[in-house]
Amino acid sequence: MSVWRTLWEVLYGSIMHMLVHMIMPHEDPEENLKDLWRHVVRLYKELKIPYKFSSLKMTMFSTKGGNSDS
């Protein structure tokens, strides 16, 4: 695995973590994650992008999952 790929994965994971834990409106990160996924699916359809992911899970970008603050 290249250093750049690892760097991008960490960066994207950090952004996702901030979105669902700090920026989005619900207190529950899982609810924010569900809303985020709905937006992603909508954009996939609007922009006619082939699905790259079939779902989003907290464990994809948070080592503790759930309500982690780390």
Residue 41 lies in a domain: yes
Residue 19 lies in a domain: yes
Domain hosting 20: range is 3-60
Instruction: Name the domain count of the chain.
Output: 1
Roughly how many angstroms between the first and final C-alpha of the chain, as a whole number? 25
Q: What is the pLDDT of residues 23-34, one digit of tens each?
A: 999 999 999 999
Residue 70 lies in a domain: no
What is the arithmetic mean of pLDDT over 13-40?
Answer: 92
Residue 13 lies in a domain: yes
3-state secondary structure of 40: helix
Residue 49 lies in a domain: yes
Residue 68 lies in a domain: no
Compute the mean pLDDT over every residue in the chain, rounded to the nearest whole number.
80
40 pLDDT above the threshold of 90? no
Q: Is the pTM of this model over 0.85?
A: no
Residue 7 lies in a domain: yes
